[in-house]
Amino acid sequence: MDSLTQISGVGTKTLAKLNKLSIFTPLDLLYHFPYRYIDFSHITDINKLQENEAVTINGQLLSFQNIFTRSHKNLQKAVISDKTGQINLLWFNQPYLSKNFRVGDTYSFAGTVTLFQNKKTIIGAISGQYHTGKIVAIYPETSGLTSNWFRKTIQSYLPQLIKNISDTIPNEILKKYQLFGLSNSLSQIHLPSNSKLLQQGRYRLSIDEILSLQTKSYLTKQSWLTKKPQITLEANSKINQKINKIIKNLPFKLTNSQEKVWQEIKNDITNPTKVTNRLLQGDVGSGKTIVALLACYLSHLNQSLSLLIAPTEILAQQHFNTFKKILKSTKTPLFLLTGTSKINFDKIPKNSIIISTHAIIYQKEKLKHQVALLIVDEQHKFGVKQRSFLGNSISLPHCLTMTATPIPRTISLTLLGNLDISIIDSLPTNRLPIKTFLVPPQKISQCFSWIENEIMTTKCQAFVVCPFIDISETMQSVKSATEEFKKISTIFPKLKLDLLHGKIKSKDKDKIISDFQKNKINILITTPIIEVGVDIPNASIMIIQSADRFGLSQLHQLRGRVGRGQLQSYCYLFTESTNDKAQNRLKFMEKNSNGLKIAEYDLKTRGPGEAFSVVQHGFPSLKLANFSDLELIDLSQKILADLVKNKNFDLNSLIPKQLLKENIVSN
C-alpha cells in the first residue's frame, strides 16, 4: 500500500483529520499504536454479569427506543436477552443507532456493566466483529476519528499494511534474545490474540524505540570522532595564570565540584585531536555559568572567538551582565545579540565572546571569524539541531551544552551515549535550603497575609507563576497570569506589583526585569518565562499557581528562582486539584529538594512523554517504551553491541523515521 487514499472511505476530509494525528502515510497508520486496551474477550451469560465487569454478551434484541426526556436529553434504550436473562443497554445522543439494529435479530455487544436506576446496565455498548469478543484497542483520537474507526480500518487493512515490512533486527539476534518478529509484533499490538502475546509484541516494539535512539546516539558519536577541532586551543602557564586570577577575584569560592568540572572541560577543549562534545549538567543554582565563562575566557586568551547561545532574551541579557561584571578588568570584547539588540559583525575582533539568543543561527553567515567554542545553554529549548551549525564535514567547534534539568541515568544511557558528561553535584555552601509547602485552598488567604508581612518586614520580593497567560475557555480552573494580576492587586493594595509574560514587548520585559532587580517591584506575576535566567537574590518567595499542571522537574526549576540570596526562601504550591496522584506528586516535591531524585520520580510517575514534554521539548515522546525501564535499556544496549560487531550490518536501518519525528539532544 502506497497511499492512505487507497483505504476505503479516506478522502480529503479524513486525510486532514489523520494528518492532525501526524499520520501521513500507511506506515504512520501502522505505527499509530493503541495507548490502552479493554478486555472484552470474556463472553458471559447475562445472569452471571457482575458490576464493573468488562464483558461481551450475545443476545436477541427485544426492544429499542429513542427517548426524549423532560430535561431535553436524548437517550437510546435497548433490551437484550439470552437463555439466562435480560439486560438494558443505554446510549446518550446517538439516535442514528435505531437504523443499525433491528428488533428480533441477534447481536454481540461489549461494554462495562454498571448500575443505572438500580438495574444492571451497559452504557455506551459497542457492537460488531471489530469491537466484541476480543481484547479491544483504544487509540489516540481526534474529532471525527474514533477508536472504532481505527480498529475497523487497521484490522481490515492489516495484511496489506504489514505486507512489505522487513524486520530491522536479524533473525539470529531475535532467537538469541527470544524476541518476536516485527510483523508478528505489529499484528499483536493492533489485534491481540491474548494478553501474553500482546505483551510480547509491545516488548519487541519498545525495544525498537529504545534501540533506534541508542543507535542514533552511537552513530552521532562515531561521526564526531572523525572530525577535528576547528581551532586548536591551549592552556599554557601564562593563560592558566590569567584564568586563575579571574577565579581568585570571584566574589565567591568555587566549590570542589565546580573545580573538578572546570578541569574536565579545560582538558577537553585543549585536546588538539578531539572535538569536545560535552554536556555540563548541574542543578539550579549550582554555578554552571561561571564554568562557561572560564571556558569562553580561555578561548579569548587563545585569540579565538567563542559563542554562548541562550534560549531567551532574559537569559542572554543575564549572562551578558554576569560576563561583563566578572571580566571587567580584562578588557575582553563582549557582544550581545538578541532580537532587539543588534551587533556590527564587521567590528567583532576574533578574540571576542558573543552571547546570543537563537538569532545567531539565522545570521551565522555574517560571522567573519571561525568559532572555536560553542556553548548552548538549555539546548532543548530550541528544538533544532545546533551542534554542527557552525562546522563543516571535516571540522567543528568545541561544543559544550549546559542544562539545569537533572537527567535520570536511564535517559543518559539511552540518549546521551555520544556525549561526555560533567556534573556539578553540589550547591554553594552558603545557600539556605528552600522551604516548600503544599498549601490547601482553605489556607491560601492565611498564606497571603504571611507573605505581605514578610515583604513589608524584610523588604524581600516574590514571584507568582501561572501556567497560562490568559484564561482558558476549556480549563477555567487553571490560573492565568493576567487574571491573577488583577486578583492579587486587590489582595495587596499596599504593594507594587507587575506582570511579565511572553506576549510583552522585549523592551518592556527588560524594563520589568530591571525594575524587579532594583526592588521597585514587590511581587512579579508571571508565567514559566522566568524558569531559566532570572537571578534576583532578593527574591525569597515563590508561589506556583495550579502547580499540578507542571512536571516536577519544571516545578524544581521554578523553585530555583529563589534561594539565591542570604534570606530564608519559601516555595508555596497552590492547586485546586483533589486528585490523589496529583496530591502525592506535589507532596513529594514538598519533601524533596534533590533535582535528580525529583526527575527520577517524575519519570516513573508521569512517564517520559509527560515528564519531559514541558521542560525538554528536544526529548522524544516514546509511544511504548519507558525511560525508567532499566532492564529494557540494558537489553537494547546488548543488542546494539552485537549489531556493531557485525561489520556487514547497516546500523542506519535501525532508525525508522516514524519513531524519530522529534530531534533528540544528541543532534
- Asked if residue 447 and residue 506 are part of one domain, the reply reads yes
Q: Point out the domain boundary residue: 133, 158, 177.
A: 133
- Asked if residue 409 and residue 446 are part of one domain, the reply reads no
- Asked if residue 515 and residue 409 are part of one domain, the reply reads no
Q: How confident is the model at residue 408 (pLDDT cuts 50, 70, 90)?
A: confident
- Residues with Cβ within 8 Å of 436's Cβ and at least 6 positions away in sequence, in order, are 559, 570, 571, 572, 573, 589, 590, 591, 593
- Asked if residue 465 and residue 369 are part of one domain, the reply reads no
- Asked if residue 395 and residue 486 are part of one domain, the reply reads no
Q: How many domains does the chain have?
A: 3
CATH of the domain at 88: 2.40.50.140
Residue 610 pLDDT more than 60?
A: no
Cell 476505503 sits on residue? 8
For residue 385, which of 660, 31, 20 has the smallest C-alpha distance? Answer: 660
Q: Point out the domain boundary residue: 383, 413, 443.
A: 413
- Asked if residue 461 and residue 359 are part of one domain, the reply reads no
* pTM of this structure: 0.75
Say if 508 falls within a structural domain.
yes
Say if 201 falls within a structural domain.
no
- Rounded Cα gap, residues 552 and 612, in angstroms: 10
Confidence at residue 89, expressed as pLDDT on a 0 to 100 scale? 95
End-to-end CA distance of the chain: 32
Q: Domain containing 337: what range?
A: 228-413
**Tens digit of each residue's pLDDT (9 = 90 or more) over 336-370:** 998 778 899 999 999 999 999 888 888 888 989 99
3-class DSSP state of 115: strand
Say if 347 falls within a structural domain.
yes
CATH of the domain at 532: 3.40.50.300
Say if 656 falls within a structural domain.
no
Backbone angles phi, psi at 629, to 5 degrees: -90, 90
* Cβ–Cβ under 8 Å, residues 574 and 545: yes
C-alpha cell read off for 222: 562515531
Nearest-5° Cα angle at 525, 523 to 527: 145
Q: How confident is the model at residue 13 (pLDDT cuts 50, 70, 90)?
A: very high
- Phi/psi-derived region of residue 533, left when phi > 0, alpha when psi is between -120 and 50, beta in every other case: left
Confidence at residue 284, expressed as pLDDT on a 0 to 100 scale? 77
**Tens digit of each residue's pLDDT (9 = 90 or more) over 260-274:** 999 999 999 999 998
- Rounded Cα gap, residues 509 and 187, in angstroms: 54
Say if 476 falls within a structural domain.
yes
Helix, strand, coil shares, percent, the chain, to 5: 40, 20, 40
Q: Which residues are bridge partners to 262 per DSSP?
A: none
Confidence at residue 507, expressed as pLDDT on a 0 to 100 scale? 81
Confidence at residue 620, expressed as pLDDT on a 0 to 100 scale? 58
Cell 559544550 sits on residue? 400
**Tens digit of each residue's pLDDT (9 = 90 or more) over 487-540:** 999 999 999 999 999 888 878 888 898 899 999 999 999 998 887 667 788 999
Backbone angles phi, psi at 590, to 5 degrees: -60, -35
Residue 623 pLDDT more than 50?
A: yes
Backbone angles phi, psi at 332, to 5 degrees: -70, 130
Confidence at residue 341, expressed as pLDDT on a 0 to 100 scale? 82
**Tens digit of each residue's pLDDT (9 = 90 or more) over 147-194:** 999 999 999 999 999 998 999 999 999 999 999 999 999 999 999 999
Say if 114 falls within a structural domain.
yes
* Cβ–Cβ under 8 Å, residues 114 and 121: yes
3-class DSSP state of 123: strand
- Asked if residue 405 and residue 257 are part of one domain, the reply reads yes
- Rounded Cα gap, residues 200 and 345, in angstroms: 58
- Asked if residue 360 and residue 455 are part of one domain, the reply reads no
- Asked if residue 394 and residue 487 are part of one domain, the reply reads no
Say if 128 falls within a structural domain.
yes
Give 85's Cβ-side CA count (13 Å radius).
11
- Rounded Cα gap, residues 221 and 417, in angstroms: 8
Q: Point out the domain boundary residue: 88, 103, 133.
A: 133
Residue 470, number of CB atoms within 10 A of its CB: 12
Range of weakest confidence among 107-116, 235-244, 616-625? 616-625
For residue 214, which of 61, 65, 418 has the smallest C-alpha distance? Answer: 418
- On average, the pLDDT of the chain sits at 88
- Rounded Cα gap, residues 219 and 241, in angstroms: 39
Exposure string over 387-426, b if 16+ CB within 10 A, otherwise e: bbebbeeeebbbbbbbbbbbbbebbbbbbbbbbbebbbbb
Nearest-5° Cα angle at 523, 519 to 527: 120
- Rounded Cα gap, residues 414 and 215, in angstroms: 9
HEC string of 552-608 equals: HHHHHHHHCCCCCCCCCCEEEEECCCCCHHHHHHHHHHHHCCCHHHHHHHHHHHHCH
Residue 661 pLDDT more than 50?
A: no
Q: Mean pLDDT across the stretch 124-147?
A: 91
Say if 87 falls within a structural domain.
yes
- Asked if residue 451 and residue 350 are part of one domain, the reply reads no
Cell 492512505 sits on residue? 4
Q: Which residues are bridge partners to 115 per DSSP?
A: 120
Residue 659 pLDDT more than 60?
A: no
- Asked if residue 276 and residue 403 are part of one domain, the reply reads yes
- Rounded Cα gap, residues 489 and 499, in angstroms: 11
- Asked if residue 523 and residue 388 are part of one domain, the reply reads no
